[in-house]
Structure 1
Amino acid sequence: MSNTPVLLDIGTDAYAHQTEVDEVKKHMGIQHNYFDCWIFGFLENKNFNIDETVEKLRRRADFERTQLAACNVTDWMMENMRKGIIQIIGNDKAGRVVFYVSTARDKPVASRREESRMNFDILLTYGTRLRPESKRCQITMLINQDKASMISNLDMTLQADIALRIAKFYPGCVDKIYICKMGRLLAAMAKPIFSRLPAIVSDRIIIISDSDIRHGKLLELFDASVLPIELGGENDCDHQKHYDKFAATIRSYFEQLKPALMRGEEVKEWELENLRAAGFIKDASPMDALKRSIVEPSPSLREQFLPGPLEPAGYSLLLTNGSITGPSFSPRSPALCALDIDDDANLITCETDSIDRDGPRSTGRMQRNASMLSRSPARSLFADYLHQFTTIESFFRLSVTEMHERQWLQIVQWEMQERRSILQGERFIRGDRLLAGLPPSVLLLAKGFLWLCLIVTSSFFFLGTCFIALFGVVTLMNIFFAIFVRPYHVFLYGAALVVVASQFVILCSRGVDVTRSTFQGRVVQAFRALGAKALAVQLIIYVVCTIAFFVLFCAMAVRHDVLTGLQYSIAYGWIVAVCLIFIYHVVFAFGLRTLSTHSYANGSRQYNAEATVYLFMEVEMDDENAEQRCPPAEVMLLTVVGVLSVAMGIAFLTGGGFFFLCATIVAQAVLLQLCTTFVIARSVSSSSDIIISGVFYASVFWMNTIFTISQNGWSGDWGRSTLAVLFVMLFFVITGMVSVFGPWKGAVRRWLFRLSWLLLLLHLIACVAALIAFNYRFGLFVLALAVHLLLCIMRTNESSNNFGMLIMSAGFTLALLACCMLAYASDAEVYEGSVSDVLVPNYANRSSASTVSRYPMSADLVEPQVTLSGMATLASVHTQRNITYVMPPLCLAQFGPTLDALGMALFAKLGLNDDVDAQEKDLRRWFPSFRRLPTPEMVESEVMHLDAFREETATVNTTIVTARSGMDSILMIESMAMWIDTYILSFFSLLMPAPYVDKLMPHLSFVQRMVPAQWMASIEKTTAVVHGLLKDLRGDRENVFIVGHGPVGSRAAVIGLRTQENVYSLTFSGPPVVPSKYNLNFSPEVLARRMLAVQTMQTVFSTWYLRTASMQFIPCSLGGNRCDRIDTTIQTLSQLCDE
């Protein structure tokens, strides 16, 4: 047996995986290398995973014992083979067996599909057999579609089933499939099916056009003596005698194979034994055979030396050139035993122990040796020298041969390393290859600039991915809260939530892929369609973009400043990145095809995308993952998290606190993430999408139950809606579990798979149709996303990855938790009881000696800068006080005859008091000149509660409207969706110019205007109440201030800005109000006059807050959320503005 690796029959790329092949053979107990090519096909199909390859080989063995052994060559099969549909015409130039298929001769019958499958199994087994000249076990299919009819000559169901059988039982055996002379109608029908076949098959399909045949494309692959005349060759193979001979050969082969299969032998082992019996395989190497021929005696000498039967412990002596060698022939040592001449243990020297030359045993042995020598024939001295010379020359020749083979293998290994480096250079951006030829002094600078471009562009793609996640979280939040507006909305907007969430998961996955590929210097998958030019094109784009952004930075830095230049260049960078990722996401669903070849393999897929094949064709499903079960550790972990989610939810529904709600949300998000990760890891088929969809529905149901029941209870339509969702969720989850993990085979599993998928699709279609009927704008939007999602599922089963899923699930969970915490913080500010005794008890006395005052309607609410001359002028109108230090501008603002900034903060605190009597007491203590105004009664389900107070003087009348959160905690959580986008976008405020923030905000929350929301309806009602309360308060003597704290205060400020012009808004520690988001066409100057937003520094969000013209900051060193409290604001203002 030669030392040349068998894998080199396939190529050097295959030989690079010799270690993995040897590991598989070790698991399978295979000691030789004749099956290396056969094993490599299975190993490549499993992405070189050792354990999965071993399992697939065992399934192949089961297939041989159960299915292949049960085959019989029927008369119909013999008749079909005699038609010449398939015949072997020789080998291609790579040494593969060529199957020539004439499609026009086939007349498929649906009732004979099972026999056609058996016939194909037998033909492929024969074509991939071990041959004396080659062990690569591969064939090439040359398919002639000339004059083939789509109706009478083609059974697409059978073709798809055969392709799936190749992937399951013959991976890598069909190395190339050349399809020639395919008609346009047939190509239009076949190409979509080719793209959905497993990659192990679709990657090998190459369509040869008539133009390629005329230009000799096939002659580059096949010898003219092999290529049929119809395809431009010289092989006249279309004769009936050839068909008959081929059919007889196949029948004879299988009749010999079947008894071996019935005995339990494997196909390859049986073929190997036949080659051994025919003498085509020698187990020993030439060197071993030579050593054995030297040490072993010839049969004639053994007959002379051993005339009688062998005796135990008997010895024979061979005299060779005066040396004595005594091999022992005993019952435990066969007569054909050979001694290894390279083994030092066989040498007897003077220093050898355990040899007693003087003992009686030695004396007897010498007597026996003497008797043997007396009978040994005389040998010629010349013959001995000739024999020795021949032996030495044979050793020398074999040594030279082995040295040649070793050197040749080293050359092959060097070539493989060089090829790998070349391939790596095509896929990785390596400066030493791209910049070859540059002077050494310039090369280092060029490589540094190249990697700088990669870092800059990857940073932009990372920021773009973050913005996509931000946009997706905001969109999902608005859709999620739309579920709770009316009963049964969970079906409409729940399905929309699943569709939109899946889309954003895929979109984030594309962003992560592009970012990672760019940062690592690899060619982005979207550019691989350009072939060898991909590297240059991608590099040019990166360099051009980097230079363009640098030029933009320089221009803006010269026009404005360095920070503004950075903001403009970064903003344009990640905006362009978002657009590119979105285009890549849209195109990804249609697959990426290599432009330089005619292969219809979908380059973007690594796993099977066979959903449509299983749904619409009678093909056998892949059972590789049917018997896999989740490990006990995974099952236990999922069970614990699921039970924890249910327990926390029940605890919240039965009166538990805010902690149980947050725990339920986190546990459900973790359960969804873990389940999705585990299912994807355990199954790569389309069945995994059924489980994932079921888990999504279960999550939507549980969140709907938590929010709906805690707010509306089980009464009326809400209870019936919850039960309906429960039954639908259980149906889909149970159906998916049964169809995926049940012990089903064959047609039963296929029909359960179809039932699960069709019901899921019908449910999705019904929900989207109903959504279009009730909300056509949003329904059409979801319909477009659903169509794109179905394309991704059917064509690109690995369209999403764990990174995209993790980003979206974590982002949505954190945003929902933020809404809960903001609502909880707003609700915690509401109090009962009087606080005027401990909080600025002497404010009424301060107001009598007020500082510089002015009419609030004659000037802006806030003067950022007030000069001393201006202060002196205003002091002439009112009592002036000696000022010994510089006050902040906020302390100089006067909102009424007895009202300053501290008084407004006290009114915000007063509005948070839920005790009417205590509120009256504090009002008389702080503001004795104010009285309460009657306000329309507001139900507990409103998002805000309003109180109004009024002061009337001879010069001006001042009305203060305060706001606090309502009693419905769930509605408060939902209302935080009004600000969650502002809080999230604040993290991007430093990465773009200020005008861009105002322009971007309406587009970020566009879904908010398309879906219903309870809090929006509640705000409309509150706005109507404010209009009714203030409709008579008009004129120059009337000033109205709406005061609030936190998110509720900002919400009240928006309501005030929407009313009449003499209404001003003041907020303390609230989210920034972006006018464009609420269709407020205010300039920064008008906003500064109409609104004042007081923010404390060192809070959780103060660093990232969006800066607007209406903001004023006051210091705070407490940190965390303590600086956000209204009590802290009051104390800080009291210290700042104290005399």
Structure 2
Amino acid sequence: MSSFLQELGPVAVSHRQEVEEVKRQLNMRREELDCWVYSFLENKKFDVEETVAKLKRRLTMEAEEMAKYEFTDYMHESLRLGIIQVIGNDKSGRTVFYVTVSRDKKEADHRDEKKRTFDLMVSYGTQLRADNKRGQMVLLVNYENASMWSNVDMSLQADVGLRLSKFFPGCVSKVYVCNMGRMLCSLAKPLFSQLPAAFSETVMFLPKSEKSALKLMEFIDEDVLPVALGGKNDCDNQAEWDRHGEVIETYFNQMREAVVDRGLTLKDWELECLELQDVEVARRFSAPSGTDSMVSLMTYGSNWSPTPLDGCLGSFTLRRDSELTPLAEDNEWCSLVKSFPTNMALFFLEELYRWRVAVAVEESAERCTLMDVYAATWKREFVEVPAIDLSNKEWYRFVPGPLRTLYHAVLVVVSIASGLSFLVALLFFLSLTSSVAVTIFLAFFVRWDYIFALFATLILVVHQGTTLCTRAVNVISVLLERKVIPPLDMLGKNRGSAAQLILFSLMVLSQLVSLGYVLTFGSFLMGLQAVFAVGWLFAVVFLLLCHVVLFLDWIPSNNQRQQDEQHSMLMLYLMLDVQESEENPDTVMGPKMPSIIVCTSLIGLTIVFGIVFVVSDTAAFAAVTCVLAVATILTVDFCSTGSLSVSNRSVLRGTVTFASLLWLFLCYSYGLLQYDNTWIVSIATIFSLNVVLVVLATMCLMKKKKSDKKLLRSMLVLFVLITCASCIASFFIVGTTVGVISLVLLVHSSLGILCVRRKSRSIGGSFFFYSAIATLAVSCIVIGFTGAKWEYSGPRSLPPQSASAPLDPLREYHRYPVCALRSSGGFGISDFALLTELVGASNESVFTQDFINWFGRTDIAFNETIDVYGAHAEHWTASRFDSVLRNMTVLTLRNTHIRSSIMTMTVWIGSIALAPLQIFLPEAWLKNIAFLISFLTRSIDFSWFSVRDAIVQYLKDVKASTSNEVVITAWGIAGGIASLVGVESQTQTITFGSPGLLHVLHFTNFSKADYHKHVLAVVSDLAVLHTMTRHDPTMFQRIQCNESAQACGGMDYISAELLTMCDVSGRRHISV
């Protein structure tokens, strides 16, 4: 087998036959050319004929172009300017070229000479050498202080990329682009993405940060890495540049002599040079010694014939399972035993075959063992739970015979109603815990140090959420099996059944009472909602009581005594260094290959899509990254059950949960935030912590001695210290309320882990909880992107026409009612909509053209744009328009970053989380419950609070300084904040395509009547934003739309529709 192809990995080895065929057609015999040929073969998708044709073109280029280059004075000088130089080899033995872009100059006249120089350097860097079997090189490009206008020649870089793909495919293994500015990066990324994959896929962009230096040191030694990129190699001096220039010129002269004068190909000359360099090495190893063998069996096999196996192994056909043992591996084993005596070699191969068959049989028998364990676990959990036996005569001895059938039916109805109530209670727990978890995660981005104070709180909420959902799922599962629910099962079969029926009967009785009360004062629909609400709230109180009062779980049920599975005692095992005797080594399986593949695939996809989101900054990739991170946590949780020990399983689950959440923070930080130095501190710290946790967890899982708990204790101590430190920090960084909540959760979770002997979490509960988190988080992200700043780049107006005649009353009747809106000065709804759209103009010329076309005939004047900053430098703007004749001042609010829109979703997060429960809740109850589950939002200093207060104060100052009527308008998420501002400042507010405030008025000190008095909402059909919360139906105008949801929610559609239906002044919109 070719040792050269092995350098490229197993995929390259699997294409050895294609490589040999290409070499045969080109009359190449040396193995040293395998990697070089493979790079062309891979570039042509392993098509032999196309590869041969491309190699012929390369050989022609060498002889007709490169060997005949004229080495000019400019090329001589440029090699000694320090623009590009060889600095050593990376950890894989590839030649590293260091490029300093700031020393280069854009010179179109010398572009061809630069390409020729680059050809020579690539040829030199990828030449055949004894220490570089790959024949590849690495480009380390430093863009620090480089100017896009004077240093960077994008056309040259594109030409170089195409030339690399055409004549040097696969030769440039990696291109590390470091310290590239934002503007330059925005141009380079799309340009490189259009180049052939052979080059574009090798490019890696690394921003200027400590993380980039650490990333580079993964591939390049610190002694080779230049000082400018965080290494120790002081290569930026004239002496090094001169040496590099001499090396390249010497290489070119020798190459030209060999190719032009002697008629050799470039690779033939390189092979000749390689033979001269390795003559001593070749002589030393030309005759292998018996002492060089890794295993010498000459003495052991002296009883067998020493006859070599050339004859018998040449025709020997190894029996094998074609699915398990490929032909290449057979040939390897045959080559390995070829030097053995005949009898011993045959014995060795037979034993190898017997071992393979045994492994195949064992894998086939245990292929479904993991699912069998789950099935047995569920069966064991339910078989031993006390059942409710309705056929027992004792239940009926006080019931007359004719009524026993009715009695039985009543019990069935009570059980069904109870099961439905617990199902809705599960939905409530999902809404509560997911809203709290997502609120805490969004709070990470309020300030750079919030993640240190709130990370433990998030982990504790995740633990509590999975536990609560597990309780609800277990109760529902038990009810479906007609068993006694926990913890009533500890009372025994008869007493537990009686207690359960009494409890459920009280619940049904309270539902009937509430139905009668509501029907007395309300409608039948409200009565049904009250019945459902009382039932599931009763179930919620019962489950919360069982969850909070932990002593109900201290006494295990009968089946738990028999199982003896004390998963909650993990910390005692670790702290006391006690052997986990409950684990039978024969029943604890290792992780199966399908599970490993699924888990690693999800982890890889999470990393890949996270990077893609950072690069693209689009809502789709942000949502996919979030879903994949949550799916990774859940999948690892599922796959680790039954395949690892309790300790290893806990370490693996904890590490994956920590790492996934931290990875989400890193991705969203890079994708959404505008950084200063303080944010880099949190990013670097979180990244380092992630690396430490992953390394320690890997070391724990690789431990071979089960009794050795030192490393596991270290992991436990680290987790405890991080959690306690974070909870303490929350008092000082976030506030006392959040600190108290974190401390209470910490104490309760600790008691639960140490004392509770029941199974506190299950796959079902975890699945529902993580699904709810992913759904709510994706909703906030997508809606936040949808309702972000409105911006357009081209004019949206057309020159006005003459005013049309006033509509007759009958035609006015068919317009939108909001068209009749007029201020005291004559301002109509279309005027407010056009002003709101105007502030989205991307530049001043577009704004001026649209403003003249729409308001050139009026005295409306643009006054100023006010920059409003939140408590943590979150930037919003408010544009002011004044009209003296119409006695009107319009203030249009706008947010400038997607991050602010996503974080502002915390205003409505409680209402969004309660969306599945709206059919089960009366209107008045929905507002109060949304207020309760949004308790954490009011305890965290989100920037929209200070933005609201700042604009309220500005409006008060404007009202004090002018007699004009003041109206505030906004679109999207900013419209929701504008509604809060309008209610707080008692200012007339008009919002377009914005979410309502009917369920979130608890963030103000005013009532629904104030909302009705000051806020008017205009939305379109199929739009997304207005559906997540309710508007005041009496101050709410819906306009028709048959386009996509995104188009219907856009400000341009709303203003164009209102202009068409309501305006008679002759103004026109380009969308009409």
Report TM bin, short chain.
0.5 to 0.7
The 5 Å alignment of 1:724-763 reads 724-746=685-707, 749-763=708-722
For these two proteins, the number of residue pairs brought into alignment is 673
TM-aligned CA distance change 1:895 to 1:449, over 3 Å: farther
Name 2:1051's counterpart in structure 1: 1126
Name 2:836's counterpart in structure 1: 908
Which SS does the other structure have where 1:1012 is aligned? Answer: coil
TM-aligned CA distance change 1:969 to 1:1126, over 3 Å: closer
For 1:1069-1113, what per-residue CA distance to the aligned partner results, in whole angstroms no more than 9, with x for missing partners? 221114764542323322211111234345457667435355424
Query: 8 Å contact 1:981–1:1005 — kept in the other structure?
Result: yes
Query: 8 Å contact 2:518–2:530 — kept in the other structure?
Result: yes
Query: 8 Å contact 2:788–2:973 — kept in the other structure?
Result: no
The 5 Å alignment of 1:940-1089 reads 942-953=874-885, 957-966=887-896, 968-1013=897-942, 1015-1016=943-944, 1020-1021=946-947, 1023-1025=949-951, 1027-1028=953-954, 1031-1034=957-960, 1037-1059=963-985, 1061=986, 1063-1074=987-998, 1077-1089=1001-1013
Name 1:497's counterpart in structure 2: 458
Query: 8 Å contact 2:422–2:476 — kept in the other structure?
Result: yes
1:510 aligns with one of 430, 455, 471? 471
For 1:215-242, what per-residue CA distance to the aligned partner results, in whole angstroms no more than 9, with x for missing partners? xxxxxxxxxxxxxxxxxxxxxxxxxxxx
Q: Work out the CA distance in 1 between the residues paired with 2:390 and 2:593.
A: 46
Shift of 1:1007: 0.6
Query: 8 Å contact 2:866–2:879 — kept in the other structure?
Result: no
For 1:387-443, what per-residue CA distance to the aligned partner results, in whole angstroms no more than 9, with x for missing partners? xxxxxxxxxxxxxxxxxxxxxxxxxxxxxxxxx9x9999513636767545567534
TM-aligned CA distance change 1:617 to 1:1005, over 3 Å: same
TM-aligned CA distance change 1:1138 to 1:618, over 3 Å: closer
* Residue 1096, structure 1, aligned to residue 1030, structure 2: no
Which SS does the other structure have where 1:1058 is aligned? Answer: helix
1:933 aligns with one of 858, 863, 870? 863
Query: 8 Å contact 1:930–1:951 — kept in the other structure?
Result: yes
* Residue 705, structure 1, aligned to residue 633, structure 2: no
Q: Cα RMSD between the aligned structures?
A: 3.5
Name 2:743's counterpart in structure 1: 783
TM-aligned CA distance change 1:1023 to 1:1104, over 3 Å: closer
Q: Work out the CA distance in 1 between the residues paired with 2:617 and 2:809.
A: 55
The 5 Å alignment of 1:796-835 reads 796=757, 798-827=759-788, 829-835=790-796
Name 1:858's counterpart in structure 2: none
Q: Work out the CA distance in 2 between the residues paired with 1:745 and 1:600.
A: 27
Name 2:1032's counterpart in structure 1: 1108
For 1:573-613, what per-residue CA distance to the aligned partner results, in whole angstroms no more than 9, with x for missing partners? 22222221111112347624379xxx997699754433244
Shift of 1:679: 2.0
Q: Work out the CA distance in 1 between the residues paired with 2:647 and 2:429.
A: 27
For 1:435-464, what per-residue CA distance to the aligned partner results, in whole angstroms no more than 9, with x for missing partners? 545567534433332222222222221112
Shift of 1:710: 3.4
Q: Work out the CA distance in 1 between the residues paired with 2:1028 and 2:904.
A: 22
Query: 8 Å contact 2:1022–2:1048 — kept in the other structure?
Result: yes
Shift of 1:1137: 4.9
The structure with the larger Rg is 1
For 1:789-825, what per-residue CA distance to the aligned partner results, in whole angstroms no more than 9, with x for missing partners? 1222233473011122122222222222222212222
- Choose 899-908 or 932-941, whichever is displaced more: 932-941
Q: Work out the CA distance in 1 between the residues paired with 2:823 and 2:926.
A: 30
What residue identity is the alignment partner of 2:496? A
Shift of 1:469: 1.1
Shift of 1:828: 7.1
TM-score (norm. length: structure 1) = 0.55
What residue identity is the alignment partner of 2:390? R
Name 2:273's counterpart in structure 1: none
- Choose 929-938 or 1049-1058, whichever is displaced more: 929-938
TM-aligned CA distance change 1:1076 to 1:811, over 3 Å: closer
Name 1:568's counterpart in structure 2: 530
Query: 8 Å contact 1:430–1:521 — kept in the other structure?
Result: no
Query: 8 Å contact 2:419–2:479 — kept in the other structure?
Result: yes
Query: 8 Å contact 1:482–1:489 — kept in the other structure?
Result: yes
Which SS does the other structure have where 2:891 is aligned? Answer: strand
TM-score (norm. length: structure 2) = 0.58
The 5 Å alignment of 1:143-222 reads none
1:528 aligns with one of 489, 505, 528? 489
Query: 8 Å contact 1:1098–1:1115 — kept in the other structure?
Result: no
Percent of residue pairs identical: 20
Q: Work out the CA distance in 2 between the residues paired with 1:817 and 1:449.
A: 43
Name 1:654's counterpart in structure 2: 615
Q: Work out the CA distance in 2 between the residues paired with 1:584 and 1:566.
A: 28
TM-aligned CA distance change 1:741 to 1:591, over 3 Å: farther
Query: 8 Å contact 2:911–2:999 — kept in the other structure?
Result: no
What residue identity is the alignment partner of 2:848? E
What residue identity is the alignment partner of 1:964? R
* Residue 593, structure 1, aligned to residue 555, structure 2: yes
For 1:651-699, what per-residue CA distance to the aligned partner results, in whole angstroms no more than 9, with x for missing partners? 3333454433233222212111111222234246244222222112211
Q: Work out the CA distance in 2 between the residues paired with 1:1029 and 1:917.
A: 29
Q: Work out the CA distance in 2 between the residues paired with 1:604 and 1:898.
A: 79
Name 1:207's counterpart in structure 2: none
Name 2:510's counterpart in structure 1: 548
For 1:454-509, what per-residue CA distance to the aligned partner results, in whole angstroms no more than 9, with x for missing partners? 22222221112111111112111221122223334323211211111111111111
Q: Work out the CA distance in 2 between the residues paired with 1:1100 and 1:913.
A: 23
Which SS does the other structure have where 1:1006 is aligned? Answer: coil
1:539 aligns with one of 475, 497, 501? 501
What residue identity is the alignment partner of 1:473? S
Query: 8 Å contact 1:458–1:516 — kept in the other structure?
Result: no
Q: Work out the CA distance in 2 between the residues paired with 1:706 and 1:1040.
A: 42
The 5 Å alignment of 1:874-913 reads 885=813, 889-913=817-841
Q: Work out the CA distance in 1 between the residues paired with 2:430 and 2:936.
A: 15
What residue identity is the alignment partner of 1:999? N
Which SS does the other structure have where 1:1106 is aligned? Answer: coil
Shift of 1:543: 2.0
Name 1:366's counterpart in structure 2: none
TM-aligned CA distance change 1:550 to 1:660, over 3 Å: same
The 5 Å alignment of 1:293-332 reads none
Query: 8 Å contact 1:732–1:760 — kept in the other structure?
Result: no
- Choose 1069-1078 or 541-550, whichever is displaced more: 1069-1078
TM-aligned CA distance change 1:887 to 1:720, over 3 Å: closer
Shift of 1:618: 5.0
TM-aligned CA distance change 1:424 to 1:474, over 3 Å: closer
2:681 aligns with one of 698, 720, 724? 720
Which SS does the other structure have where 1:668 is aligned? Answer: helix
Q: Work out the CA distance in 2 between the residues paired with 1:710 and 1:994.
A: 38
For 1:68-115, what per-residue CA distance to the aligned partner results, in whole angstroms no more than 9, with x for missing partners? xxxxxxxxxxxxxxxxxxxxxxxxxxxxxxxxxxxxxxxxxxxxxxxx
Q: Work out the CA distance in 2 between the residues paired with 1:1076 and 1:1101.
A: 15
For 1:295-350, what per-residue CA distance to the aligned partner results, in whole angstroms no more than 9, with x for missing partners? xxxxxxxxxxxxxxxxxxxxxxxxxxxxxxxxxxxxxxxxxxxxxxxxxxxxxxxx
Query: 8 Å contact 1:589–1:788 — kept in the other structure?
Result: no
Which SS does the other structure have where 2:646 is aligned? Answer: coil
